[in-house]
Amino acid sequence: MRPPRGSTNRIGTRRRRLYGGRRNRGIRSRLRIARSVSPSLIAPQTKSAIIAAALRKATTERMIPNVRSTNSVVPAEAELPTIAVVGAGDVGSAVLRLLACSGEVGELWALDVDGHRAAVAAHDAAAIALYGELAPSVSSRAVDVLEPDALIAALDEIRPDAIVQAATLQSWWVVAQLPPPLWRRLENEARFGPWLPFHLVPAQRVTAAAAEACPGVPVVNVAFPDAVNPVLAATGPAPTCGAGNSDLLRPGIRLAAAAALGVAPSEVELEFVGHHYHVVYFWMDLEQVEPLDPQSFHLRIRVGGDDVTDRLGAGAMLATAGRLLPRGRLIAERTAASAAKNARLLLRADATDDHAAAPCGLAGGYDVRFGQGTATVRLPAGLDADAARQIVERAQLGDGIAAIGPGGAVTFTERAAVAMRDILGYDCPVLRPDEAPARVEELRARLASAGR
């Protein structure tokens, strides 16, 4: 593939191929495939028809002469795929490093509004991969997610097989630089929900551009997916799934259970429905503020097919995992590992059972079956879609979110809305998706004033 025109930096070699043949980017076909879903893979019903359609949507593949077409997004030549990472900050740059070292990716692109930052992130990923004698092609390009035409043009030229959306208009740690008493009040009273505009706007631009430039390509959204993804599902193209959030806790729970029982972590299996709130509850020391509602999550732990949850205590295992989360900006590496894992599993032809935040436009984290460009929800035994939704709705209260309506309007809890108004002068009890860009500018102005 020729490098796109414009501000581009290319590092490394051409994509390695498992088999011979030339890459054919010119032919793409959308296949509409009726998938039958077994009872164990029932996708939860949502208020948006987009989500139901997403479970049946076409996947994008390359049509190679003399090769029989399948419904897999894995290239028919069996060559290693291309992944574009949008946003080269703490999380995005870590995603690039992890994917470059995975041995499962042939070509990587770092896209960022800051061309130098993207180039540094791309170079670092390529350099680190060389320690393991891996040499994927790693390139960078300056692209502003707030410029739709430029973003569409970039994705159209790159033609990625998957996209990791790691861009945000303001990272959490920027807000944490406010005077400590002010930040602590916002953390305890307003919570994370009211900052949604910073994450919603870039994710909306990326998913819309992907739908235009490379329809059917899976998108992993890292920016507050438990709120962003359901809003986007109600208003337009939604990401395939999220990353981080409840998935940050899942490996820690398995490690804690394995240590308690004296078994290998690989022997520990989970049924888990969780939420972003369960991360910040431990990560931001909300244990000192309120008890954790045991009805706000579902967790069952099994070893060798035996349910050992009551023996270990679901709350105790969750707390052990939560208290050992990396603090501060170190959490970016774990978040990136979740995103890289999801991108890799989405592109595999074989199905893999795992966990993801906000799959299929749902709020909250669910167990899923990855593969062939999709992430299908796997509901726990004995828990139907309505019961799972109610669990998540209880959890999102802890993030200051009272409800996400059918049109994507987000109603914040009274406590969160009042705190934002009293502390920052920001009056937004309900966020409507089309108001998000203006709310971004208002929040920036309010924060700048509060920091003086």
Q: Which CATH number covers residue 217? A: 3.40.50.720
| pLDDT reported for residue 8 | 57
Domain count along the chain: 2
Specify the higher pLDDT residue, 43 or 88: 88
* Residue 261 structure tokens: 């029982």
Q: Which domain holds residue 196?
A: 8-245
Residue 39 has pLDDT above 60, yes or no: no
Q: Phi and psi of 35, rounded to 5°?
A: -100, 130
| pLDDT reported for residue 229 | 98
Instruction: Work out the average pLDDT over 403-423.
Output: 97
Cα angle value 427/433/436 (rounded, 5°): 55
- Residue-wise pLDDT for 73-108, tens only, equals 333 345 899 999 999 999 999 999 999 999 999 999
Residue 178 — very low, low, confident or very high, per pLDDT cuts 50/70/90?
confident
The Cα 282–Cα 246 span in angstroms is 12
The Cα 377–Cα 400 span in angstroms is 25
Specify the higher pLDDT residue, 313 or 8: 313
User: Which of 245, 260, 281 is where one domain is finished?
Assistant: 245
Whole-angstrom CA distances from 330 to 252, 325, 337 are 16, 9, 12
pTM of the model: 0.84
Residue 182 has pLDDT above 70, yes or no: yes
Residue 345 has pLDDT above 90, yes or no: yes
| pLDDT reported for residue 10 | 55
Instruction: Work out the average pLDDT over 55-81.
Output: 39
Residue 22 has pLDDT above 70, yes or no: no
Instruction: Work out the average pLDDT over 355-383.
Output: 97
Q: Examine residue 380 and state whether it is found in any structural domain, yes or no.
A: no
User: Which of 230, 245, 260 is where one domain is finished?
Assistant: 245
Contacts of 223 (CB under 8 A, 6+ apart): 165, 166, 167, 168, 199, 200, 202, 203
Q: Examine residue 434 and state whether it is found in any structural domain, yes or no.
A: yes
Share of the chain above pLDDT 70, in %: 83
* Residue 374 structure tokens: 């999709």
- Residue-wise pLDDT for 105-151, tens only, equals 999 999 999 999 999 999 999 999 999 999 999 999 999 999 999 99
The Cα 121–Cα 93 span in angstroms is 5
| pLDDT reported for residue 172 | 74
Specify the higher pLDDT residue, 344 or 39: 344
Q: Examine residue 299 and state whether it is found in any structural domain, yes or no.
A: no
| pLDDT reported for residue 68 | 26
| pLDDT reported for residue 47 | 35
| pLDDT reported for residue 177 | 80
Residue 40 has pLDDT above 60, yes or no: no
Q: Examine residue 122 and state whether it is found in any structural domain, yes or no.
A: yes
Residue 417 has pLDDT above 60, yes or no: yes
Q: Examine residue 36 and state whether it is found in any structural domain, yes or no.
A: yes
User: Which of 206, 223, 245 is where one domain is finished?
Assistant: 245
With both helix axes pointing from N to C terminus, report the angle between 385-396 and 225-235 in degrees, rounded to the nearest 10: 120
Q: Examine residue 174 and state whether it is found in any structural domain, yes or no.
A: yes
In the predicted model, what is the mean pLDDT of the chain?
Answer: 86
Which helix (H) or strand (E) segment is 185 a member of? Answer: helix 180-185
Residue 9 — very low, low, confident or very high, per pLDDT cuts 50/70/90?
low
Q: Examine residue 66 and state whether it is found in any structural domain, yes or no.
A: yes
Cα angle value 127/131/134 (rounded, 5°): 80
Q: Examine residue 49 and state whether it is found in any structural domain, yes or no.
A: yes
Partner residues linked to 141 by β-bridges: 8, 111
Is the separation of the CB atoms in 331 and 325 below 8 Å?
A: yes
The Cα 247–Cα 277 span in angstroms is 12
| pLDDT reported for residue 402 | 98
- Residue-wise pLDDT for 145-176, tens only, equals 999 999 999 999 999 999 999 999 988 777 77
Instruction: Work out the average pLDDT over 285-313.
Output: 97
| pLDDT reported for residue 78 | 57
